[in-house]
């Protein structure tokens, strides 16, 4: 029993904080897409459950029982499997790395065992981003992540993801919010006739966590300024609660040129140009 599954990066193109529940969880309204860059989860027959972590972003990541790959495997009732997580996405970065890994583990085990996925309530215990990462398709994500609405077809575009190597814990960012009842996205999202129209619509939206994250980690402001200065960047914004930011570009040629310029100026940053996975099955 062997197999592998891609775990693409999740990118919040916009993120509106619209309220907070009595239990303290914040209500969000977000447009989510996935990038071609990501981690890979693989499994082979073994004795008991085990996890090895490889890849350039693996150092420092614990492979213990609390790792989301093993938690997802236990949720599926997996036994006698040796997992490998090839880690390419930075940790605590606002692009759903751990959630993407857990979701990839669930998809992988369902595929190689023929078993159905756990019920949504059980999946949600792994994290709020697991449902959207499980489908890895563009979506409007609301509530605490459990309300997912498909989007009209997205025009093609490319992204450059940049992380300055600073982990930004989510809790301090939410604590720094001045308001927790900001307006939601428009009732109707799309359709967008072309890439320029989509970029124009996104410019009118927000990431309400960006300002507080910049206060917590001022280097995020430098990342945004560096992206904005690249040729062809239509929009620079932070993803999730940070610290990863993205620049949107009309095509991969422009994105790769921006990636080269940013790498030359900031060799210590994690930088990746990638197409946005805008098809009906982004994980494919």
DSSP assignments along 116-144, one per residue: PPPPHHHHHTT-TTHHHHHHTS-EEEEET
Per the domain annotation, does 283 fall within a domain? Answer: no
Interatomic CA distance for residues 76 and 211, integer angstroms: 39
The pLDDT assigned to 1 comes to 62
The pLDDT assigned to 237 comes to 98
Q: Which of 29, 86, 101, 129 is catalytic?
A: 129
| Domain final position from 125, 148, 171 | 148
Q: Which of 10, 39, 87, 208 is catalytic?
A: 10
The pLDDT assigned to 246 comes to 98
The pLDDT assigned to 282 comes to 39
Q: Are 119 and 166 within one domain?
A: no
pLDDT in tens, 17-60: 999 998 888 999 999 999 999 999 999 999 999 999 999 999 99
Q: What's the total number of domains in the chain?
A: 2
Q: Are 85 and 10 within one domain?
A: yes
Q: Are 159 and 177 within one domain?
A: yes
The pLDDT assigned to 24 comes to 85
| Cβ 26 vs Cβ 261: under 8 Å | no
- Is 87 noted as a catalytic residue in this protein? no
Per the domain annotation, does 98 fall within a domain? Answer: yes
Give the range of the structural domain holding residue 114, as residue numbers without chain letter: 3-148
The pLDDT assigned to 281 comes to 40
- Tokens 């992380």 correspond to 163
Low-confidence ranges of the chain (pLDDT < 70): 1, 280-284
Q: Are 130 and 180 within one domain?
A: no
| Domain final position from 121, 148, 175 | 148
pLDDT in tens, 67-96: 999 999 999 999 999 999 999 999 889 999
Residue 272: CB atoms within 10 A of its CB come to: 23
Q: Are 157 and 139 within one domain?
A: no
The pLDDT assigned to 283 comes to 43
pTM for this prediction: 0.94
CATH number where 91 lies? 3.30.230.10
- Is 47 noted as a catalytic residue in this protein? no
Nearest to 70 by CA among 113, 97, 41: 41
| Domain final position from 115, 148, 181 | 148
């Amino acid at each position: 029993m062997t197999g592998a599954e891609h775990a693409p990066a999740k990118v919040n193109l916009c993120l509106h904080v619209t309220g907070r529940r009595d239990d303290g969880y914040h209500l969000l309204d977000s447009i989510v897409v996935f990038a071609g860059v990501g981690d890979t989860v693989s499994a082979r027959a073994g004795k008991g459950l085990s996890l090895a972590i490889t890849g350039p972003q693996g150092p420092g990541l614990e492979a213990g029982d609390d790792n989301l790959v093993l938690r997802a495997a236990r949720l599926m009732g997996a036994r006698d499997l040796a997992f490998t997580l090839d880690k390419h996405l930075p940790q605590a970065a606002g692009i759903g790395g751990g959630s993407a890994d857990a979701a990839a583990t669930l998809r992988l085990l369902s595929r190689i065992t023929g078993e159905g996925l756990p019920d949504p309530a059980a999946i949600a215990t792994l994290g709020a981003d697991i449902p959207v990462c499980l489908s890895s398709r563009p979506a409007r994500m609301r509530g605490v992540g459990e309300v997912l609405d498909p989007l009209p077809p997205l025009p093609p575009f490319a992204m450059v993801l940049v992380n300055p190597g600073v982990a930004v814990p989510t809790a301090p960012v939410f604590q720094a919010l001045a308001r927790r009842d900001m307006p939601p996205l428009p009732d109707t999202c799309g359709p967008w006739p072309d890439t320029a129209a989509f970029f124009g619509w996104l410019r009118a939206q927000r990431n309400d966590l960006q300002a507080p994250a910049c206060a917590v980690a001022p280097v995020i402001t430098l990342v945004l300024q560096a992206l904005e200065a690249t040729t062809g960047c239509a929009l620079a914004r932070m993803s999730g609660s940070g610290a990863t930011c993205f620049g949107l570009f009309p095509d991969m040629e422009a994105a790769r040129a921006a990636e080269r310029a940013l790498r030359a100026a900031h060799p210590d940053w994690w930088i990746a140009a990638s197409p946005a996975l805008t098809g009906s099955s982004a994980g494919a």
